[in-house]
Amino acid sequence: LDTGTYYTPGDNNDHPLVDWCVMGYYGYNIMSYGTRQDPGHHCAWTKTQLGFVTPQVLSQSQRRIEILEAETNPVVYKIVRPGDSDEYFLLENRNTVSSSKFDHLDSDFSAYWTWFTPGQNQKDPGLLVLHVDDDMPGNNGQPSYAHYMVTVEDAGYDPATPWDGVSEFSREWHPYEMRIGAPFAAEDPGQASFTPNSVPSSDWYGLSSGIWITNISESDSIMTFDLGFGNAWPAVVEHHPVSLDTVVSFGDSLLLSAVVVDEDGDP
C-alpha cells in the first residue's frame, strides 16, 4: 500500500483528508511545532486497508447505535452503496480529547508563516464520516478525476458559501485545508445529522442514497446515532395509552392523541 497516494499531490484543489489521516497532507503535524511528536491518527480507510480493523457493515435501520472512540478501539462502521461495493461510507468516532498519544492537534499552518501567530488548534471531536470510492485510480479529485477516492465529509461545510462562518477552517488556506471542525456532533449547531437534506449530504456520487444518520450525540468516548434508510427517517411518536381502568365496548368512539417529532428538522 502506497499511503502517500491518498493525499492530493498539488494545491490545485482541496486536500480531502489532511489532519484526519496520517500522510493526508501534513497529517504528521510538523507545521505546528516541528517536533513531529504528536502526529495525526490513521483514518478508518487506511486501518481497513492495512488490516488493523474489519468494519462492521450497517444495512438495517437502527436506533442508538453505539460507537467507541477510534483512538483506543478497533471500531469502524461501513455503509455500502447497493449494487456497487466499491463505494461506501466509513464512520468512526474521533475523540481528539482522549487519552491517546495521537490525534489531538491540527497542522496549524500559522506556525509556518511569520505574519501569523503560531497556535495550537485542537481538532474537534465527533463522528467522522469518510466517503470512499475504490474505483477511483487516485485521490487528485477534479479536474483530474470526477471525485476523490477517499475524502472527509466536512460537517456544515458548503463549498457554495465557504465564508459563512459555520465551518471551522483557516481562511487563508481555503480550499486547501480540510477543516478541523469536520466531525459531526450535537454540540455543534446543525451538525447532529447526515442526511439527503444536510450539507454535505449523504448521497452517493450521482445518486440519492436515502441514508439518514440522525440524533448524533455530543462527542464523547462513546457516541450514539440513529440510522435509517429510505425516502425519510421514521419520526418519533409519543403515544398516550388508554387508562387500564377504561372499559371500551363495541361501537364506542375513542379519541387518540399523538405527538410526532421530525428528528431531521426539515419541514
Instruction: Give residue 251's region: left, alpha or beta (phi > 0; psi -120 to 50).
Output: left
The pLDDT of residue 105 is above 70: no
* 251 domain residue, yes or no: no
What does the pLDDT look like over 133-184, one tens digit per residue? 999 887 877 777 888 888 889 887 766 665 544 444 433 344 444 567 789 9
* Structure confidence at residue 266 as a pLDDT band (50, 70, 90): very low
Total-model pTM:
0.76
The pLDDT of residue 72 is above 60: yes
The pLDDT of residue 30 is above 60: no
Mean pLDDT for all residues in the chain? 75
Task: Give the mean pLDDT of 103-123.
Answer: 53
SS (H, E, C) 37-83: CCCCCCCHHHHHHCCCCCCEECCCCEEEEEEEECCCCCCCEEEEECC
The CA-atom distances, in angstroms, between 163 and each of 66, 107, 141, 193, 229 are 34, 21, 22, 21, 32
Residue 166 has what pLDDT? 44
Strands 77-81 and 56-57, bridge-based pairing: parallel
The pLDDT of residue 68 is above 80: yes
* 47 domain residue, yes or no: yes
Residue 252 contacts residue 231 (beta carbons within 8 Å): no
Q: Which domain holds residue 216?
A: 1-232
* 244 domain residue, yes or no: no
List phi, psi (to 5°) of 179: -60, 145
* 177 domain residue, yes or no: yes
Lowest mean pLDDT among 17-21, 98-102, 146-150, 214-218: 98-102
* 259 domain residue, yes or no: no
* Structure confidence at residue 71 as a pLDDT band (50, 70, 90): confident
Residue 257 contacts residue 237 (beta carbons within 8 Å): no
* Structure confidence at residue 248 as a pLDDT band (50, 70, 90): low
d(CA 208, CA 254): 41
Residue 97 has what pLDDT? 76
* 9 domain residue, yes or no: yes
Identity at 248, one-letter amino acid code: V
Domain count, the chain: 1
The pLDDT of residue 64 is above 50: yes
In the structure grid, which three cell numbers stand for residue 236, read together?
Answer: 418519533
Residue 14 has what pLDDT? 54
Percent of the chain surpassing pLDDT 70:
57
The pLDDT of residue 189 is above 70: yes
* 238 domain residue, yes or no: no
* 242 domain residue, yes or no: no
The CA-atom distances, in angstroms, between 38 and each of 2, 19, 22, 75, 192 are 22, 11, 11, 22, 29
